[in-house]
């Protein structure tokens, strides 16, 4: 025992002396190397100096600050303090090695040296195995630039960023290998190389639930929207698994369960397990909890309406299944019919109205609720302000606004005003923002500020085509914000006077002498500027020739008098008025039209081949339009019914139509024409919109003395771009999948001579279902894709009409609205029912293109 004590004493005495002898010598001592120092007899020194060596990019003074070595302070050498210098600097992930040296000791002063070896710098990151666009997106997310430190943090960040990006694209199990290579060009630089194998996109094989008793697996899978497991009836298999969609689906699942009364429902645990290289299984463990029912409902704070009135509006009674979602919707909205409690108050001026449901008591399976109202006071509109309309005059916007100064505030009228402003077509529908401002609580007044964003609304149509040996060119200009009041103001021509919300359209189409067509239209939605009285004026003229031309060169081979020709001229004036009954969405339009048809050798198309016919008609149209937006409607309807009448000449003239010559018999066209076009729009899931449409048309005569008019018939099939056939005086109805005008009555057939073959049919019906989903919705462009199914047919007389026997088609398409060009579209349609007497190449038209279509109708 004594020998051991002697040995320890000897080591302490002579080991410490050796340490200090070395420090006081000329050679620096590594204070972190146990072979060079001993911790048996540490000593306090005053730090006389600190310097950093080995740095190339980093600032030495900054490193000294980080090391916490301060000149003038005491430090124990060696000690935990000297060890912490190395630990602190290494924790910065900037160095491969850090050493602390004692350069020299002078009495009680010590001079320290921090020797570092910097980690290599990044030259670039090369990613292999991904597309160029994918690599660019990852680089953007990494935000890495040359000169960064290559360390574990950089490697981990790079890998996790790539993994996250690929998971968003449904690549859940990629193989990612990262290595570094020395940069031979720059010293102490490295290139990070990432080799990526994406593997297959992951789909959902199945979803398995546990813990559920009240809800079946089928119900829960339905609630888990966005996660579609494999099923035999899904033609294209299950949807790709995406984590963001999965998180949304879990939230929706619990919300649906709670909506059924299980307010305590929650996901206890969920996991994703790999099924194979292409699919995963999802396991969801649920806690349903008890099913709750509504107990007593108490109202407090209400003075405007009694409890009984509020209970009727609420529509929730004691004993009903407790649903927080339904309760919130009925209290605060927004409800589809504005029948919530908040709408009741806010439509009556209570701008600051607030309602809060409070759970007072939960016992067994029953929940008592107290509904606390803060009615506030009624507000009157003081000023209505419009901002952002740099081109459109204030009066054009203000006359479309239903919230007027002096009226009580109304949420319903506020939303109606937003809809009316969007219907103008001159502002971005997504950016119309009404905000109550300058609330005066003492006087109960508020200003309403409508902020709008102008968008280009003028349109140009420029196209050309070649066929039948002729080139046809089209030029059309539409100015949707024209201003007649500024016509004589020189400064207003930029390039045309704008700002009054009027519409001016000019269109010309020609192939030279063989075909020419010109049209003009002007409309003023507020005639006189004080009342919503619509005025429209349009005119057109066209002439067309066939026969007597070389098919390939277009050269005329006969005299003008021998050509087959038709001249058509027409003018229409329209007056319309917005109605207040049955509701403000109704409008009635009355039009008076005059047309002249002059035929020369124009046989096989009409009931006569030479002569002139006149058409004077009066059209009465009533419509109701509640769609929320003109370009991409998501809700509402647009229903139009019209009757067009000519005078019944045959009832009062003395003409014998059986013996009269054609130029007498057909001089005055007579008919009555009935049309119905009804469209409905509704959101069915997320942004998916369903459009349904039904169209009917009937052309009849007043007596048996005259046949059904050869003009104003219906042609079904094709793209419907023209809307009216200037060659044959018929109305064109689009039906995709079929060629233009090829859908004719089955009793006719193209192998028989019948007037309906060329000029159309007197009766038609058409139905349409269309699913739309937006791709882009902004003021620069509106883009959406669609899938459609259509059915339609034509008949010669009512006894043949069978609305269930239709020619059918289905397909897909896309639409893009560009302010300068209007609505452009392309569709691929497949027609299912052949046309008698025609080969499939003659009646089928898979691809159809459209431009400047009617927004609501197409």
* Per-residue pLDDT, 5: 32
The residue written with tokens 């009635």 in the block is 588
Same domain, residue pair 281 and 318? no
Which stretches within 295-444 are classed as H helix? Answer: 307-314, 324-332, 341-346, 394-398, 411-423
278 and 301 in a common domain: no
Please write the tens of the pLDDT for every residue from 385-425.
999 998 899 999 999 999 999 999 999 999 989 988 988 88
Cis peptide before 78 (omega within 30 of 0): yes
pLDDT given at position 688: 92
Mean local confidence (pLDDT), 134-145: 85
Closest listed residue to residue 384, CA positions, set 422, 347, 410: 410
The predicted model gives 724-747 an average pLDDT of 78
139 and 89, same domain (yes or no): no
Domain end point (choices 287, 302, 326) = 287
Question: How much of the chain exceeds pLDDT 70, in percent?
Answer: 88
The residue with tokens 């506030």 is 376
Q: How many structural domains does the chain have?
A: 5
Cα distance between residue 216 and residue 233, in whole Å: 20
Residues 33, 99 within the same domain: yes
Domain presence at residue 447: yes
The distance of Cα 674 from the centroid of its chain, to the nearest Å, equals 36
Residue range 221-225: mean pLDDT, rounded:
88
Q: How many C-beta atoms surround the C-beta of residue 13 within 10 A?
A: 11
- Residue 193: inside a domain, yes or no? yes
Does residue 27 surpass a pLDDT of 80?
A: no
Q: How confident is the model at residue 638, as a pLDDT?
A: 95
User: Quick one: pLDDT band at residue 86, thresholds 50, 70, 90?
Assistant: confident
Kindly state whether residue 533 falls inside one of the protein's structural domains: no
Which residue(s) pair with 282 in the sheet?
A: 207, 272
Task: Specify if 239 maps to a domain.
Answer: yes
pTM above 0.75, yes or no: no
131 and 113 together in one domain: no
Specify the pairing of strand 515-524 against strand 502-510: antiparallel
Is 527's pLDDT higher than 80?
yes
Q: 551: pLDDT confidence band, cut at 50, 70 and 90?
A: low
pLDDT at residue 546, rounded to an integer: 77
pLDDT at 439: 93
Average pLDDT over residues 621-632: 91
Q: For residue 17, is pLDDT > 60? A: no
Q: Looking at the predicted structure, is the pLDDT value of residue 269 above 50?
A: yes
Report which of 164, 161, 196, 199 is spatially closest to residue 178, judged by C-alpha positions: 196
Mean pLDDT value of segment 638-644 = 97
Domain termination site, one of 143, 170, 197: 197
Residue 78 is predicted with a pLDDT of 85
Distance, in Å, from the CA atom of 184 to the CA atom of 281, rounded to the nearest integer, reads: 48
pLDDT per position as a tens digit, 102-120: 888 888 899 998 998 888 8
Domain span holding position 416: 380-451
Q: What is the Cα–Cα distance from 700 to 717, expressed in whole angstroms?
A: 21
pLDDT-based confidence at 37, cuts 50/70/90? low
| Lowest-confidence pick of 322-326, 385-389, 490-494, 570-574 | 490-494
pLDDT band of residue 474 (cuts 50, 70, 90) is confident
Range name among 202-216, 266-280, 451-465, 799-813 with the lowest pLDDT average: 451-465
Q: Is residue 747 part of a domain?
A: no
Mean pLDDT, residues 481-485: 89
Listed residue (729, 669, 710, 668) closest to 544, CA to CA: 729
Q: Where residue 525 falls among pLDDT bands split at 50, 70, 90?
A: very high
Same domain, 279 and 259: yes
Lowest-confidence region among 164-173, 330-339, 719-728: 719-728
* Residues composing the chain: 858
Residue at which a domain ends, from 327, 346, 374 = 374
Residues 32 and 89 in one domain: yes
Strands 844-845 and 433-440: unpaired
Within 8 A by CB and 6+ apart from 750, the residues are 744, 757, 835, 836, 837, 838
Phi, psi of 545 (to 5 degrees): -130, 145
| Peptide bond before residue 336 is cis, with ω within 30 degrees of 0 | no
d(CA 370, CA 693): 46
Structure tokens, 385: 């302000």
User: Distances in Å between the alpha carbon of 431 and those of 364, 387, 390, 424, 434?
Assistant: 49, 12, 15, 14, 10
Q: How confident is the model at residue 728, as a pLDDT?
A: 59
Assess whether pLDDT exceeds 60 at residue 25.
no
Q: What is the CATH number of the domain that holds 191?
A: 3.10.20.310
- Is 133 a domain residue? yes
Range in 183-187, 575-579, 782-786 the model is least confident about: 183-187
Q: What is the mean pLDDT of the chain?
A: 85
Q: Does residue 243 share a domain with residue 142?
A: no
| Phi/psi of residue 651, nearest 5 degrees | -80, -20
Average pLDDT (762-772) is 95
Give the model's pLDDT for residue 122.
86
Q: Is residue 107 part of a domain?
A: yes
757 pLDDT exceeds 70?
no
Residues 9 and 103 in one domain: yes
Q: In this structure, are strands 672-685 and 189-197 parallel, antiparallel, or unpaired?
A: unpaired
95 and 12 share one domain: yes
Across residues 315-342, what is the average pLDDT?
86
- Looking at the structure, tell me whether residues 12 and 94 fall in a common domain: yes
Residue-wise DSSP of 509-537 = EE-SSSEEEEEEEEEESSTTTTS-EEEEE
Encode pLDDT of 490-507 as tens digits.
887 877 888 899 999 999
465 pLDDT band, cuts 50/70/90, is low
pLDDT(14) > 80: no
Residue 598, H or E segment: strand 586-600
Let me know if residue 229 belongs to a domain. Answer: yes
Same domain, 98 and 148: no
The mean pLDDT of 67-83, rounded to a whole number, is 86
- Give the pLDDT band of residue 747 (cuts 50, 70, 90): low
């Amino acid at each position: 025992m004594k020998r051991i004590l002697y040995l320890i004493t000897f080591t302490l005495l002579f080991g410490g002396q050796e340490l200090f002898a070395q420090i006081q010598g000329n050679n620096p001592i590594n204070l972190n190397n146990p072979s060079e120092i001993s911790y048996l007899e540490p000593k306090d020194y005053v730090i006389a100096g600190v310097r950093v060596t080995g740095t190339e990019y980093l600032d030495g003074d900054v490193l000294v600050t980080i090391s916490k070595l301060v000149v003038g302070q005491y430090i124990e050498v060696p000690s935990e303090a000297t060890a912490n210098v190395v630990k602190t600097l290494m924790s910065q992930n900037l160095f491969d090695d850090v050493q602390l040296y004692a350069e020299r000791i002078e009495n009680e002063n010590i001079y320290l040296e921090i020797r570092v070896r910097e980690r290599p710098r990044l030259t670039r990151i090369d990613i292999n195995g991904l597309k160029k666009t994918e690599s660019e997106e990852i680089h953007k997310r990494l935000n890495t630039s040359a000169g960064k430190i290559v360390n574990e943090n950089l490697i981990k960040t790079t890998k996790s960023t790539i993994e996250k990006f690929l998971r968003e694209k449904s690549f859940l199990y990629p193989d990612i290998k990262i290595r570094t290579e020395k940069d031979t060009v720059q010293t102490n630089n490295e290139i990070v190389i990432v080799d990526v194998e994406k593997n297959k996109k992951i789909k959902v094989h199945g979803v398995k639930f546990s813990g559920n008793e009240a809800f079946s697996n089928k119900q829960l899978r339905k609630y888990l929207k966005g996660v579609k497991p494999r099923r035999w009836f899904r033609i294209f298999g299950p949807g790709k698994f995406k984590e963001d969609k999965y998180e949304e689906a879990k939230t929706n699942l619990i919300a649906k369960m709670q909506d059924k009364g299980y307010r305590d429902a929650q996901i206890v645990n969920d996991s994703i397990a790999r099924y194979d290289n292409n699919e995963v299984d999802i396991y969801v463990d649920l806690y349903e909890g008890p099913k709750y029912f509504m107990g007593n409902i108490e109202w407090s704070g209400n003075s405007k309406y009694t409890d009984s009135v509020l209970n009727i509006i609420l529509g929730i009674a004691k004993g009903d299944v407790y649903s927080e979602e339904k309760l919130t919707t009925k209290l605060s909205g927004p409800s589809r019919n504005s029948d919530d409690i908040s709408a009741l108050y806010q439509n009556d001026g209570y701008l600051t109205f607030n309602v809060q449901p409070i759970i007072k008591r939960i016992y067994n399976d029953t929940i008592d609720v107290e509904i606390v109202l803060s009615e506030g006071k009624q507000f009157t509109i003081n000023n209505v302000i419009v901002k952002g309309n740099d081109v459109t005059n204030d009066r054009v916007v203000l006359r479309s606004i239903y919230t007027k100064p002096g009226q009580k505030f109304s949420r319903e009228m506020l939303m109606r005003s937003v809809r009316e402003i969007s219907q103008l077509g001159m502002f971005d529908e997504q950016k119309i923002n009404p905000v109550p401002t300058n609330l005066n609580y003492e006087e109960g007044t508020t200003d309403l500020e409508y902020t709008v964003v102008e968008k280009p609304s003028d349109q140009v149509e420029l196209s050309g085509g070649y066929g039948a040996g002729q080139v046809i060119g089209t030029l059309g200009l539409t100015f949707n914000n024209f201003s007649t009041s500024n016509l004589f103001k020189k400064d207003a021509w930029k390039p045309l006077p704008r700002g009054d919300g009027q519409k001016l359209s000019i269109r010309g189409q020609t192939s030279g002498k063989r075909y020419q067509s010109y049209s003009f239209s002007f409309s003023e939605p507020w005639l006189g500027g004080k009342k919503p009285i619509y005025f429209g004026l349009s005119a057109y003229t066209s002439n067309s020739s066939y026969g007597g031309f070389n098919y390939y060169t277009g050269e005329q081979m006969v005299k003008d008098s021998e050509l087959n020709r038709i001249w058509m001229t027409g003018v229409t004036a329209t007056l319309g008025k917005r109605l207040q009954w049955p509701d403000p969405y109704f409008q009635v339009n009355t039009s008076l039209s005059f047309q002249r048809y002059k035929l020369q050798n124009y046989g096989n198309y009409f009931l006569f081949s030479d002569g002139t016919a006149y058409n004077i008609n009066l059209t009465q149209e009533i419509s109701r339009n509640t769609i929320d937006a003109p370009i991409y409607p998501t809700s509402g309807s647009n229903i139009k019914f019209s009757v067009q009448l000519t005078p019944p000449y045959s009832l009062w003239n003395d003409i014998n139509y059986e013996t009269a010559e054609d130029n007498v018999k057909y001089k005055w066209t007579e008919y009555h024409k009935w049309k119905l076009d009804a469209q409905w729009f509704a959101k069915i899931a997320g942004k998916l919109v369903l459009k349904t449409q039904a169209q009917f048309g009937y052309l009849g005569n007043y007596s048996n003395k005259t046949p059904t008019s050869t003009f104003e018939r219906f042609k079904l099939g094709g793209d419907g771009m023209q809307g009216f056939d200037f060659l044959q005086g018929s109305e064109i109805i689009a039906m995709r999948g079929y060629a233009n005008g090829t859908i004719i009555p089955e009793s006719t057939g193209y192998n028989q001579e019948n007037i309906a073959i060329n000029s159309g049919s007197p009766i038609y019906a058409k139905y349409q279902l269309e699913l739309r989903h937006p791709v882009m919705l902004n003021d620069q462009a509106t883009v959406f894709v669609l899938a459609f199914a259509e059915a339609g047919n034509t008949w010669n007389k009512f006894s043949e009409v069978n609305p269930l026997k239709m020619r059918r088609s289905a397909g897909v398409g896309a639409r893009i609205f560009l302010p300068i060009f209007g609505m452009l579209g392309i569709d691929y349609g497949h027609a299912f029912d052949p046309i008698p007497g025609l080969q499939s190449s003659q009646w089928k038209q898979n691809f159809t293109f459209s431009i400047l279509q009617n927004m609501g109708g197409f």
